[in-house]
Each structure stands twice: as C-alpha cells, then as structure tokens.
Amino acid sequence: MTDLASAGPADPDLFWIDTPEHRRWLRNQAGALLDFHRAALGPGPGFQNLAVDGSPLPSTLQELHLTTRLVHSYALGKLLGREDGDAIIDRGMDLLWNSHRDRQHGGYLWGIDGQTAADPRKLAYGHVHVLLAGSSARMVGHPDADRLIADVTEVLDQRYWENAPGLLSDEYNRDWTPFSDYRGMNANMHGAEGLMTAYEATGRQVYLDRAGSIFAFFLYGKAPENGWRIPEHYTGDWSVDRDYSGDPMFRPAGTTPGHSFEMGRLLLQYWDLTGRTDDRAPQTARKLIDTAFEDAWDSDRGGIFYTLKHGGSPGIRDRYWWPVTEAIGAYAALLKMERNRQDETRYRQLWQFAASHFIDTDHGGWFHEVDDKGQPTATQFNGKPDIYHALQACLFPLSPALSHIAPSLQDLPSA
C-alpha cells in the first residue's frame, strides 16, 4: 500500500488538484494501473482475468462490461500519451464485434467463453458500455469505432429506449423475449455516461438529449422526493420498488451512495455540455454528493458503506474500492467549479483512505474490498477484475474540465 505522504503536500492551505506534487502522483498512479492491467492481454484470443498478483485466473469467462471498460480505459491512456495500449484496444474491439455481438439475434451477449455464449442475457447495462467503448475508441481514431457505435445505437433505439418515460428498459433473453419487467437506475446512469461520451465523440444531439431525459427523471424527480438519495429499483411502469432485493452485490436493496457520487459528477458533465444554462444542476449535484458522503462515510473505520436503507442509515456496511473512487471524482468536479475548503478536506480524506487501503504497491492495481480491520479481502470479487473506476479517479482530477475530459487529457503537460 502506498505512502500517504506521497499523495499530496501536507500544507492545509493548498488545494491538491492545483499542486504539481499531487498531479504528478495522480499520473504515476494512472500509469501503474495501466501497467498492471496490461497483463489482461495474455496470449488470446480473449482477455485474461487477473488474480491479486497479476497472474491469470483459471476462468476464461469474458463479461461484457469488463471487455468494454478495458477498451475505454486504454483509450484514455492513449489520450494521456501512453502508446502501449493499442493491442488491448484492438483486441477488445475485435471481441466486441466478433464474439460478444450476437449474429443470430442482434445485440451483445453478457458473457462469452471463446465463441460460446456462456451467459446469453441481453442487458441494457452491457449495451451502454458498448456505446462507451465505441465512443472512446473513436476519440483515438480506431477504424472500427463507427460501425460499433452505429450497431449498438440501433439496438438501444429498437430494444431498450422507451419514449414515453424517456428511459432505458433493462433486460431480455437472447432472443429478445423479456424475462422480467424490472427497471433500474444503474443501467440508466451508465446509459447517461455512454450517451454523453457518444455525443462528445460524434456531435449527435440525440445522445445528449437522451442523457438529459435520464437526469430529469432521476435527479430532478426521484432524488428530491427521497431525501436526495436515488432509489435504485423500479417496476415496469417506473414506480419505485422499495421492497426489491435482488443480487446483494449487483442489485442490492435500498440505495447505493456510490451511485449518487457518480450521478452528481455526470450531471455536472451534462450541465457543462449544455452550456451551463440550467441553474438547478450545480446545487442538485452538490446535494446528491454531500448527502451521500454524510450518510455513508464510515466515521469509525473510514471508507464508504456500500448501501443505505431508504431513510439513509447504513445497509450493507462492506467497503469496496469503487464508491471511494466515485466520491473522489465527484469532489474533484465540485472543486473545479469552486475551490471550497470542505470539498478539499473530503477529497483528501478519500485519497488518503484509498492510498492506505486499496492501492497495492507490492503487485500493482487496486484491492477491491477491505474487511472490518481494513485489510484486503475477497468475499465478492475474485482477483482484480476492473481498472475503470480507479483509473478514472486518477484522471478526472488532472483535467481542468467538467466535460470533454477524455480529449482534454491530450492537452495536459507531459509528465
């Protein structure tokens, strides 16, 4: 685990995002993540799942969100000036088109093993990540990006986008027969992320308009009705389903503060892209972000509780890396708007906890979970499957922008 003192200068009067020491540390952390996860490339044809020490795990299952996040992350690395990620981008784009894409029924399979449909579900969550990957690949000039964007956009239009509520539906069988009427915030949140990235990559207004529709429903409708916490689960008619309790990891009961951090930051990106004309956005983002921190920061042990009950008390007290990374990105966004002392204090707290508990200086990468004593554990995640959250926590504070963050990385001074 990394030395706390190296995260930034101790001077309380400085804002870390302005200091060369902290910015250098962020770039070094981003580089270390890109170095570690390059081991996913392996001999092929797919990606290797990585153990804690970076060695390959036995499982050869390829999940759609991890394939797409590798493409997106190494595209960000390329924009930052790294020239060693092209093979990962190329392989990921090939996997998406030739293995995840369902040539029989259309759309993209959630889990593949070679050419076998190991998990043939068609999830909106996965498809919006395909849009994210294609859009990021377009920003680095990948020759197959346009066809991927066009194909997944058509699928989203025909299968998932519901015009009446202006939201994305959620899940289907391989042949597009529905297996539930579940509707969820998470797929829509990542939908807004993918749609705004597609807008930044292509300039097509429809992507931005649809992102705005998602924010209007969840952030200007549901969040203020629910104490500035965002209900996760909905019925087929988009009524809040307060009794829903699905998978305790991926669809837990209650609300998820990590998603409030993420949605707050994404709302500020949308506000910036639309010319900063809606005066509600900054205050809405702040209410989401501050409420999540005040509800979920573990004052005894540090870190962020994974879930909350609907009234805001802790639900699942487990502490994962990704809510901390999303809180870092959220407070970095607030600091870009205004150098605020409370935001700076929380930004430092978050990085200090991440540095002392999640960053693995022995092997590289980030641990994904810590136990009650703050030691790395693995009750939900096998190995270190994901680069996306930690990499973005390092890169978002480096960019001075609220939107167009990916292309802005090209303009940063060299390390």
What pLDDT is recorded for position 414?
78
For helices 321-337 and 257-273, the axis angle rounded to 10 degrees is: 30
Q: Tokens for 121, please give them.
A: 């579900």
Model confidence band, residue 139 (pLDDT cutoffs 50, 70, 90): very high
What is the average per-residue pLDDT within 158-181? 98
Q: For residue range 18-30, list pLDDT tens digits in order.
A: 999 999 999 999 9
What pLDDT is recorded for position 30?
98
What pLDDT is recorded for position 341?
97
pTM for the predicted model, two decimal places: 0.97
Residue ranges of alpha helices (H) inside 156-246 are 185-202, 205-217, 223-225
Reply yes or no on whether the pLDDT at 344 is more than 70: yes
Provide the pairing of β-strand 183-184 with 111-113. Answer: unpaired
Reply yes or no on whether the pLDDT at 154 is more than 60: yes
Model confidence band, residue 31 (pLDDT cutoffs 50, 70, 90): very high
- C-beta of residue 188 within 8 angstroms of C-beta of residue 221: no
What pLDDT is recorded for position 391?
98
Percent of the chain scoring above 90 in pLDDT? 93
Q: Tokens for 399, please give them.
A: 């960019």
Q: Is the dihedral of CA 261, 265, 266, 267 positive or negative?
A: positive
**Nearest residue to 100 (alpha-carbon basis) of 76, 116, 84, 89:** 116
Q: For residue range 39-66, list pLDDT tens digits in order.
A: 999 998 899 999 999 999 999 999 999 9
- C-beta of residue 26 within 8 angstroms of C-beta of residue 17: no
Active site residues: 259, 389
Q: How far apart are CA 188 and CA 207, in angstroms?
A: 13
What is the average per-residue pLDDT within 378-397? 96
Q: Please list, in sequence order, all residues whose beta carbon lies within 8 angstroms of the beta carbon of residue 247, skipping any fewer than 6 positions away.
A: none
Percent of the chain scoring above 70 in pLDDT? 98
Matching residue, tokens 């930690």: 390
Q: For residue range 286-298, list pLDDT tens digits in order.
A: 999 999 999 999 9
What is the average per-residue pLDDT within 352-368? 97
What pLDDT is recorded for position 13?
87
Instruction: Give, rounded to a whole angstrom, the gap between the first and last alpha carbons of the chain.
Output: 23
Q: How far apart are CA 213 and CA 207, in angstroms?
A: 10
Phi, psi of 113 (to 5 degrees): -135, 100
Long-range residue pairs from 346-353, CB within 8 A, at least 24 positions apart, any chain: 346/293, 347/16, 347/17, 347/397, 348/7, 348/8, 348/16, 349/297, 349/302, 350/324, 351/7, 351/8, 351/16, 352/4, 352/7, 353/302, 353/303, 353/324
Q: For residue range 183-226, list pLDDT tens digits in order.
A: 999 999 999 999 999 999 999 999 999 999 999 999 999 999 99
- C-beta of residue 75 within 8 angstroms of C-beta of residue 139: yes
Q: How far apart are CA 216 and CA 211, in angstroms?
A: 9
Q: How far apart are CA 129 and CA 195, in angstroms?
A: 10
**DSSP secondary structure string for all residues of 114-140:** TTEEEE--EEHHHHHHHHHHHHHHHHT
Matching residue, tokens 């870092």: 328
Q: How far apart are CA 193 and CA 132, in angstroms?
A: 7
What pLDDT is recorded for position 7?
83
Reply yes or no on whether the pLDDT at 2 is more than 80: no
Look up residue 220 and give its amino acid: Y
Residue ranges of alpha helices (H) inside 358-387 are none
Q: Tokens for 82, please give them.
A: 């790294």
Model confidence band, residue 4 (pLDDT cutoffs 50, 70, 90): low
What pLDDT is recorded for position 313?
97
User: Average pLDDT of the chain?
Assistant: 96
